[in-house]
Amino acid sequence: MNYLFTSESVSEGHPDKVADQISDALLDEFLAYDANSKVACETLVTTGQVVLAGEVKSSAYVDLMEVARRVINRIGYTRSEYKFEGDSCGVFSAIHEQSADINRGVEREDEMNQGAGDQGMMFGYASNETDNYMPISLDLSHLLLIELAAIRREGKVMTYLRPDSKSQVTIEYNDAHTPVRVHTIVISTQHDDFVTPENNSLEAQAKADEEMLGIIYSDVKNILIPRVIALLPKRVQALFDENLILHVNPTGKFVIGGPHGDTGLTGRKIIVDTYGGKGAHGGGAFSGKDPSKVDRSAAYAARHIAKNMVAAGVSNEMLVQISYAIGVAQPVSVFVDTYNKSNVDMSDAEIASKITEIFDLRPRAIEKRLKLRNPIYEETAAYGHMGRKPQTIVKTFTSKYEPVPLTREVELFTWEKLDYVDTIKKAFNL
């Protein structure tokens, strides 16, 4: 019997994602000027207010307020009617120095023996159901919102769009766990109050709201979804049919949104950040944490391993767990689940053992292999940390504490590179 699986995503203007992006932008600023910075930065956003808190150990001086305002304006909160606007919102900082007790458990005379910044278990997942080895439900959820944001910035159609939005995609699978169709799409997008009621009566307001919803529904169906489908490979395009169920702004109106409509906090969208509910999640958030925190770096390493293993043909689907003790360099355990889809004559435990031979999983080794001590994190903080395109870009940082702008060439999403496929094939005789 066929079954359904659902994933969701949220846009860069969603309150929790605003918080994530501010936290990661602050992290990037510290790493740009001091690569050895230790940062654990949390952000709260609400009506007209940003609160920054956390711990930092760095030789860099960062204008926290300026960074927060830049991020908010980039996202699109630039109008006073949003009740949250980059140039006028209050920014309060409660960031202080990192605990010396934590620091002494992390830093070592031999940097390769750097201890894990905390205990915990981190997961990486990959599946060959999409070209980027991600669950198709999450991949489509992200793509819908990326394209919706592009339409908003273009300003040519759907000119009523505001920054806050959410998506949800339900995929129908057959008994062989193969996607057969896109079953349901949900889009909720913040919008201007762009239809004026004829008078102040409740009936007139309801009529105006119904007219707005009709326009938004039509635009999502006839503009957004065709643009998204056009970006997809043929085999994914084939999953869309006339039986698709589409829900658009199911409450009927979404004018009040963003941090004014809902308080946002760093780290509240960890499933959106990873695999949309497929695989597993250890519970630790990513944004605002420097790579000495294995919550982040080991999750990237686990994804890198799982993706390369599936791409090499070891299994059609794989979950990798890595766990650590605070202050200890070597992982406590490495676990693998191939969901009975392995293509090699080895147990999952034997595959896990082979992984520890191929990949050095000490935190400092992960940092070096994936080039994580670079200002690469603001780009990760919306539309998922996994499944993204690895690329090299140039970033420029300006600071009132420095006489000239700092230009850095950095590699984004290094954990998505398929650079270990040949090594894995050789190790597994594939």
How confident is the model over 291-329, as pLDDT tens digits? Answer: 999 999 999 999 999 999 999 999 999 999 999 999 899
53, two tokens: 């808190």
**8 A C-beta contact, residue 89 and residue 62:** no
**8 A C-beta contact, residue 71 and residue 21:** yes
Identify the weakest region by mean pLDDT among 8-17, 208-217, 399-408. 399-408
- Is 395 flagged in the annotation as binding? no
- Is 207 flagged in the annotation as binding? no
Report the alpha-carbon angle 426-300-44, nearest 5. Answer: 175
- Is 345 flagged in the annotation as binding? no
Side-chain half-sphere of 150: how many Cα atoms within 13 Å?
Answer: 12
- Is 416 flagged in the annotation as binding? no
Q: Which residue has the tokens 């007219």?
A: 211
- DSSP assignment of 240-293, as one string? --TT-EEEESTTS---S-HHHHS-EETTS-HHHHTTTTSS---S---TTB-TTS
**8 A C-beta contact, residue 405 and residue 293:** no
- Is 154 flagged in the annotation as binding? no
| Average pLDDT value for the chain | 94
- Is 129 flagged in the annotation as binding? no
pLDDT at position 97, please?
A: 80
**Residue 403 pLDDT level (bands cut at 50, 70, 90):** confident
**Residue 113 pLDDT level (bands cut at 50, 70, 90):** confident
- Is 268 flagged in the annotation as binding? yes
The model's pTM is 0.95
**Residue 106 pLDDT level (bands cut at 50, 70, 90):** low
**8 A C-beta contact, residue 217 and residue 248:** yes
User: What are the structural domains of the chain?
Assistant: 3-9+136-258 (3.30.300.10), 120-127+293-427 (3.30.300.10)
- Is 293 flagged in the annotation as binding? yes
- Is 417 flagged in the annotation as binding? no
Strand 38-46, strand 49-57: pairing: antiparallel
Residue 54 scores a pLDDT above 70: yes
pLDDT at position 310, please?
A: 98
- At position 341, the amino acid (one-letter code) is K
Residue 239 scores a pLDDT above 70: yes
| Angle, helices 64-75/15-33, rounded to nearest 10 degrees | 130
Q: Which helix (H) or strand (E) is 138 found in, with range?
A: helix 136-154
pLDDT at position 116, please?
A: 83
**8 A C-beta contact, residue 166 and residue 8:** yes
pLDDT at position 223, please?
A: 98
- Is 165 flagged in the annotation as binding? yes
Residue-wise pLDDT tens digits, 137-149: 999 999 999 999 9
- Is 164 flagged in the annotation as binding? yes
**8 A C-beta contact, residue 40 and residue 294:** no
3-class SS at 100? helix
**8 A C-beta contact, residue 253 and residue 213:** yes
| Angle, helices 294-312/348-358, rounded to nearest 10 degrees | 110
**Closest C-alpha to 352, from 187, 124, 38, 161:** 124
